[in-house]
């Protein structure tokens, strides 16, 4: 496992140039879980174009004349794309909330969508995603070693702000790396 047990939950993964999987080209993924059993993350810099928040509320039969708060619907990843997840600040929890760390939680229940739509107590920051990125045991470790992903410390602004088009550059830049120097080829001595 990466770094002798230094799992990636609570970190960002940034797709390297030449990744090879077009679904993840220039993607930034917030890692929600990572263990010997596998990994789960949400893409935070891609939106879906086939549904918006009011349409989703209608499909879920959540009554509201007009949502109290508008949030954009993200493409969380290619696994279970009909399933919704809300990544949010840790000031909000339900029984079903997975606390990723002290700053971020993940809730996959209709209750959080109702709260956001109706203006009930809601998290300070939230990101709604359909689907997730998932890896089997050891798969993510192999991809990182093959230079497909760059590990970046999580940043609240990169995770939750609406500047979708700049998240990849900002994540890479947070390491002090000039994007033009990145290569998709792994080095071997």
Cβ 86 vs Cβ 47: under 8 Å: no
Q: Please tell me the predicted confidence (pLDDT) of residue 68.
A: 63
> Which residue bears the tokens 């070693």?
145
Work out the mean pLDDT of the chain and round it to a whole number.
Answer: 88
Beta bridge partners of 75: 130
- Return the closest-CA partner of residue 178 out of 17, 4, 6: 17
pLDDT digits (tens, 9 = 90+) for 86-110: 999 999 998 999 999 999 999 998 9
In the numeric block, which tokens belong to residue 19?
Answer: 């990744």
Helical ranges in the chain per DSSP H: 53-59, 110-118, 139-145, 156-160, 167-173
What's the predicted TM-score (pTM) here? Answer: 0.89
Q: How far apart are CA 108 and CA 111, in angstroms?
A: 9
pLDDT digits (tens, 9 = 90+) for 44-90: 999 999 998 888 988 888 877 766 677 899 999 999 999 999 999 99
pLDDT digits (tens, 9 = 90+) for 11-25: 999 999 888 788 999
Cα distances (angstroms) measured from residue 135 to each of 39, 121, 144, 179: 5, 33, 12, 26
The class (CATH top level) of 11-168+175-181 is: alpha beta
Confidence of residue 182 (pLDDT cuts 50, 70, 90): low
Cα distances (angstroms) measured from residue 113 to each of 5, 42, 77: 34, 17, 19
Cβ 22 vs Cβ 75: under 8 Å: no
């Amino acid at each position: 496992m990466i770094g002798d047990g230094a799992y990636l939950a609570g970190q960002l993964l940034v797709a390297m140039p030449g990744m090879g999987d077009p679904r993840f080209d220039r993607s930034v993924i917030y890692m929600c879980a990572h263990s010997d059993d596998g990994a789960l993350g949400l893409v935070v810099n891609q939106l879906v174009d086939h549904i918006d928040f009011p349409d989703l509320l209608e499909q879920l039969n959540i009554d509201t004349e007009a949502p109290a708060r508008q949030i954009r619907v993200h493409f969380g990843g290619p696994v279970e794309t009909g399933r919704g997840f809300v990544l949010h600040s840790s000031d909000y929890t339900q029984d079903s909330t997975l606390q990723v760390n002290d700053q971020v939680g993940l809730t996959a229940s209709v209750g959080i969508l109702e709260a956001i739509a109706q203006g009930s107590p809601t998290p300070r920051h939230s990101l709604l995603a359909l689907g997730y990125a998932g890896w089997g045991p050891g798969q993510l470790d192999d991809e990182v070693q093959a230079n497909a992903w760059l590990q970046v410390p999580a940043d609240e602004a990169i995770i939750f702000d609406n500047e979708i088009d700049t998240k990849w550059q900002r994540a890479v830049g947070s390491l002090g790396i000039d994007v033009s120097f990145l290569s998709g080829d792994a080095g071997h001595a």
